[in-house]
Structure 1
Amino acid sequence: MTAEAPGRPRAAGPPPLVHLLQEFSLESNRYVDAAGGSNDMHRTDLNALAVIMQYTAKNRVVTPGVLRKELHLSSPATTALIDRLNKSGHVVRERQGTDRRQVQLRMTPKAYRDGGAMFRPLARHIGAAMQDFSPEELAVATRFMSAMIEATVRAGEEAARDGSRTPSP
């Protein structure tokens, strides 16, 4: 016999794979919290570095405005975040353009070293787990995870639009 929450309708629930994705997401978040916490970095700090790294890999400029939008932060929160990352030696501000008004954010070699050290255990364990799968299985898993990321992005965009239309109480 299973215990059900009172007043909650009985439902088949999501497929087991969806539960695994939720669990993976939760465990990933726990890892980021543990790795960041032991290095005196907030989750937002690590997310900011991930955004800067992704943009840099695509040869795209990262400005404070880009970071604010990507992380859904207010302007003051973005400034505080950049100040923290600058003070810790992980990010530098560089003036760009002919009028030198645009500020571009760049990760420092220290950020890459610290990030590598923080995420090396995760990479090692994931790499070891991946060795149990054939290249064909990994190709299917890669295609699947790419589709799940795209679906999550679309759902987030939809939630943001719907949230802006929701009347306040």
Structure 2
Amino acid sequence: MSEASGPHPGGERPEIAAPQDLVRLLQDFTLEANHYVDAAGGRNDMHRTDLNALAVIMRHSAAGRVVTPGVLRSELRLSSPATTALVDRLHASGHLTRDRLGTDRRQVQLHMTPKAYRDGSALFMPLALRMGKAMGAYSAEELDVVRRFITDMIQATVAARTETAEKSPSPPSA
């Protein structure tokens, strides 16, 4: 038996072994969520990156933080030209405004428009309704455990990504 699935002395699993069925379920959920985003966005001529950008803007705005093209570039891991194209596309579609605010008029701040909120609601309401119905089968205590589990899985994924990025070889210099 493999170390990840076989019995262990003392009945304990090594720290590195994860229940593979749960890992597979998380992978399946991620894949299905991506398929949903592709289908919903495609119906509205929006790329996954467009929807991810709007999610970043919404999250930062809700926390009272300024959102700039640099924030999008960093969070979405895009090049400067790709970020400019993304912002231009969202602006042209009426989902985003670019405002030069404050004393430093060079800084562009990004804001979602009412149209972006309406379109986002229309895109994701079917998913939210289905998920809400599925969650209704669980008690508040069960949902608290799930909430903690998902939060821990997000933190583990971020830590693994950071560790992987730190170990990645530097790109060759030109």
Same fold (TM over 0.5): yes
Partner of residue 143 from structure 1, selected from 139, 148, 151: 148
Residues 31-83 of structure 1 deviation map (CA, whole Å, 9 limit, x = unaligned): 00000000000000000000000101110111001100000000000000000
List gaps (5 residues or longer) in structure 1: 1-9
In structure 2, the residue matched to 1:76 is 81
Identity of counterpart residues, as a percentage?
66
Amino acid aligned to 1:77: A
Task: Kindly indicate whether residue 47 of structure 2 is the aligned counterpart of residue 42 of structure 1.
Answer: yes
In structure 2, the residue matched to 1:18 is 23
- The residue correspondences of 1:1-169 to structure 2 (distance < 5 A) are 12=4, 15-165=20-170
Aligned residues: 159
Task: Assess, with a 3 A threshold, how the Cα gap between structure 1 residues 167 and 105 changes in structure 2: closer, same or farther.
Answer: closer
| More displaced stretch, 120-129 vs 92-101 | 92-101
Q: Per-residue deviation at 1:160? A: 1.3
List gaps (5 residues or longer) in structure 2: 6-18
Residues 77-96 of structure 1 deviation map (CA, whole Å, 9 limit, x = unaligned): 00000000000000000002
Q: Give the TM-score, by structure 2 length.
A: 0.87
Amino acid aligned to 1:16: D
Q: Give the TM-score, by structure 1 length.
A: 0.89
- Partners in 2 of 1:22 and 1:131 — Cα distance? 23
Q: Per-residue deviation at 1:125? A: 0.3
Q: Per-residue deviation at 1:166? A: 8.1
What stretches of structure 1 move > 4 A for 4+ residues in a row? 10-14, 165-168
Q: Secondary structure of 1:59's match?
A: coil
Amino acid aligned to 1:136: E
- Partners in 2 of 1:12 and 1:98 — Cα distance? 57
- Partners in 1 of 2:114 and 2:87 — Cα distance? 16
Amino acid aligned to 1:25: T
- Partners in 2 of 1:166 and 1:99 — Cα distance? 34
